[in-house]
């Protein structure tokens, strides 16, 4: 499955993605990350998208299930 970075403190999102079989690591919002297949952040307006070399999904306004569905849909494109 995919290697996914999830912004702290969203443990519920991490757990839901792990239940789908993904390798999930938590990160601080100011970390520069490389080598992931997908990232999940609090809000796109809160991050510098240049710090990521992979697609990102926003948590803002979405349920945990919506986030999981969005991540999986993007991974299977």
pLDDT reported for residue 77: 77
pLDDT reported for residue 50: 75
Residue ranges of domains in the chain, CATH in brackets: 3-75 (3.40.50)
Which string of DSSP letters, residue by residue, matches 6-30?
EETT-HHHHHHHHHTT-EEEEE-TT
pLDDT reported for residue 64: 97
Q: Report yes or no: 37 and 57 within 8 Å, Cβ to Cβ.
A: no
- pLDDT tens for the chain, 77 residues long, are 899 999 999 999 999 999 999 999 999 876 778 899 999 999 988 777 777 889 999 999 999 999 999 999 999 87
Number of C-beta neighbours around residue 46 at 10 A: 12
Q: What's the pTM value of the predicted model, to 2 decimals?
A: 0.91
């Amino acid at each position: 499955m995919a290697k996914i970075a999830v912004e702290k403190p969203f443990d519920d999102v991490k757990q839901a993605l792990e239940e789908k079989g993904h390798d999930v690591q938590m990160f601080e919002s100011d970390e520069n990350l490389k080598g992931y297949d997908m990232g999940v952040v609090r809000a796109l307006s809160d991050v510098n998208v240049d710090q990521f070399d992979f697609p990102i999904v926003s948590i803002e306004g979405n349920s945990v299930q919506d986030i999981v569905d969005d991540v999986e849909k993007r991974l299977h494109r």
